[in-house]
Amino acid sequence: MLSIQLHPARFRQLGSQFYSEVVAEPLPATQLLAWNSELAASMGLPLDVNQIPNAADSFAGNQAIAAEPPIATVYSGHQFGVWAGQLGDGRAMLLGELAGQEIQLKGAGQTPYSRRADGRAVLRSSIREYLCSEAMHGLGIPTTRALALVASPETVWRETQETAAVVTRVAPSFLRFGHFEHFYYLGNHTALKALADFAIAHYFPHHRDAANPYQAMLSEVVARTAELIADWQAVGFCHGVMNTDNMSLLGLTIDYGPFGFLDGFDAGHICNHSDHSGRYAYGMQPEVGLFNLNCLAQALLPLLDRDEAIAALKQYQGEFETALAERFRAKLGLVDEAPDDWQLFTRLFDLLQAGHTDWTIFWRALCHFDMTSLNEPVRNLMVDRDAFDAWAWDYKVRLALEGRDQAERQTAMLAVNPKYILRNHLAEQAIRQANAGDFREITRLQTLLARPFDEQPDFEAYAGLPPDWATELSVSCSS
Ligand code: AMP
Ligand code: MG
């Protein structure tokens, strides 16, 4: 047996105006539904969770695994474009650190920042967060990770009666843009500087000796955010609630709520049922990224010149477009940059949009694009086949100009166009089975999605179109 002892969270060094010590509210009859043994091993924890005494109670918050009490941090944020004031970890608590990673429980009870909410997370949304963190990691997209998933029969009320669960999340830091906004809007520039210094010391130490370390950090956050959103767009991930309090300073995907992956391509796709105006639609994400960075830059103004802030922000558009073009060239198996790249991409998006062609299935089929055939398997996915033929002709010309070996190109494309993503209906199946007491689908999906680029013949059905019943599914902010 191996008892876990976490190190104190470095965040504590900041002092009590940045957080509150909290007490986890015990949950009855806890049951460990999932354990991420690969992540566990990378942190020096056992592969086999049975080697940890009382694992379910430890990862529900019932039993302490750190010497210090947990803390909940304070932040503010812009929600749906509007200043929302103080928010904070309303249902997340930081237990401590292991191997340089922060360990946080989500759903372990109320904190001073719960704002009349219950501090809980329901099983449904916890399964989604657990699976999607790991699916994103499998796709090579920066994200917070999920170490464990614990359920309890405790009742939680949302629109209907549900049950509670706790996800153990892991990240080098859970700092959000909103942490900086909080102290800026309070007018507490001393605290703002202390926070920025802390972030630089621990997460951006290479900028410590820059002419202006705060500007250097902002520039890097701009670049990381541009890269992250390019990753999302390429794989068809919609975050759903890109509020500034849900934006990671480290450029990680964070706070999985009403997220969704595109099925049929629609640039206007809104995955969050509560997002009535479509502010966070798929095609809006790049622009919202910039809005959020503007909020961060504004909050850092006491530490830098306005001109320096503007210079950092101005890099976003170019960095995003460069990153996106790189992703799409790779998805198309192209190596060289060419002046007509964007024309080639946008003509393709128009084709996919016109037919609402399935994003993932299309790209995977395109991996087998052949220079000498009509490419029926891809062509048949299209509504306007003449337009596809015209596009495919130009694509062939590009490929011919590059002269890359066809087999080599196909292999490279298969390594960047996933076969398996966490479609809504796949998560829903795991949720329905879990609600019926069968948790095996969670582990099955976790295993499948850890290798999304590999052919996994036993899982062919998981790569198909969503079933008809999936059109009825809707996800909202309720979680
Ligand atoms: P979100 O929309 O999930 O990013 O949450 C926005 C804010 O509401 C954050 O401060 C959360 O901690 C808080 N929050 C959301 N759900 C709950 C809950 N059930 N209990 C307490 N706080 C919550
Ligand atoms: Mg949040």
Q: Which residues does residue 237 pair with via DSSP β-bridges, in sequence order?
A: 261
Find, among 105, 4, 93, the residue nearest to 53 by Cα: 4
Please count the structural domains in the chain: 2
Tokens at 295, concatenated:
């909020």
Q: Is 245 a catalytic residue?
A: yes
Within-domain flag for 74: yes
What pairing do the DSSP bridges indicate for beta strands 101-106 and 260-261?
A: unpaired
- DSSP for 247-271 reads -BTT--B---SS-EE-SB--TT---
Q: Which of 364, 392, 414 is the last residue of a domain?
A: 414
- What is the pLDDT at residue 478? 87
Q: Is 85 in the pocket of ligand 1 (CB under 6 A)?
A: no
Q: Tell me: the pLDDT tens digits for 393-447?
A: 999 999 999 999 999 999 999 999 999 999 999 999 999 999 999 999 999 999 9
Whether residue 295 lies inside any domain: the answer is no
How many helices (H) and strands (E) the chain has is answered by 15, 12
Rounded to the nearest angstrom, the distance between the alpha carbon of 273 and the centre of ligand 2 is 16
pLDDT at residue 27 tops 70 = yes
Check whether 1 has a pLDDT greater than 70. no
What average pLDDT does range 149-159 have in this prediction? Answer: 97
pLDDT of residue 472: 84
Per-residue confidence (pLDDT) for residue 450, from 0 to 100: 98
Burial class (CB in 10 A: 0-12, 13-18, 19+), 372: exposed
pLDDT above 90 (res 123) = yes
Given 89, 231, 245, 255, the catalytic residue: 245
Whether residue 426 is contained in a domain is answered as no
Confidence at residue 471, expressed as pLDDT on a 0 to 100 scale: 84
Q: Would you say residue 100 lies in a domain?
A: yes
The residue type at 29: A
pLDDT value for 2 = 67
Separation between Cα atoms, residue 442 and residue 133, nearest integer Å: 13
Q: Rounded to 5, what percent of the chain is helix, strand, coil?
A: 50, 15, 35
pLDDT at residue 4, rounded to an integer: 87
**476 close to ligand 1 (CB < 6 Angstrom):** no
Domain boundary among 112, 138, 171: 171
**Residue 422 included in any domain:** no
Ligand 1 pocket check for 178: Cβ under 6 Å: no
Last residue of a domain, one of 119, 146, 171: 171
CA nearest ligand 1 atom 20, residue: 119
Q: Is 89 in the pocket of ligand 1 (CB under 6 A)?
A: yes
How confident is the prediction for the chain on average, in pLDDT?
A: 97
Q: What is the mean pLDDT of residues 454-469?
A: 96
Query: Which ligand sits closest to the CA of 476?
Result: 1
Q: How many Cα neighbours within 13 Å face the side chain of 206?
A: 3
**Cα(80)–Cα(12) distance, rounded to whole angstroms?**
30
If you measure from the C-alpha of residue 422 to the centroid of ligand 2, how many angstroms do you get, rounded to a whole number? 20
- Region of residue 161 (phi > 0: left; psi between -120 and 50: alpha; otherwise: beta): beta
Residues whose beta carbons lie less than 5 angstroms from ion ligand 2: 246, 255
Task: Calculate Rg over the CA atoms of the chain.
Answer: 23
Q: pTM of this prediction?
A: 0.98
Closest ligand 1 atom to residue 246 Cα is 4
Domain that holds residue 375: 332-414
Q: Tens digits of per-residue pLDDT, 227-279? A: 999 999 999 999 999 999 999 999 999 999 999 999 999 999 999 999 999 99
pLDDT tens-digit series, residues 283-325? 999 999 999 999 999 999 999 999 999 999 999 999 999 999 9
Task: Give pLDDT tens digits for 53-112.
Answer: 999 999 999 999 999 999 999 999 999 999 999 999 999 999 999 999 999 999 999 999
Q: Is residue 14 part of a domain?
A: yes
Using the predicted structure, report yes or no on whether residue 477 has a pLDDT greater than 90: no
**303 domain-assigned:** no
Counting atoms of ligand 1 from 1, which one is nearest the CA of 88? 10
SS3 72: strand
Helix axes 440-449, 123-138, angle to 10 degrees: 20
Q: Which of 110, 115, 279 to mutate to test the pocket of ligand 1 (most atoms within 8 A of CB)?
A: 115
Range 309-315, long-range pairs (CB < 8 A, 24+ positions) = 309/215, 309/218, 311/215, 312/215, 312/218, 312/219, 312/222, 313/222, 315/219, 315/222, 315/223, 315/226
In a domain, 473, yes or no: no
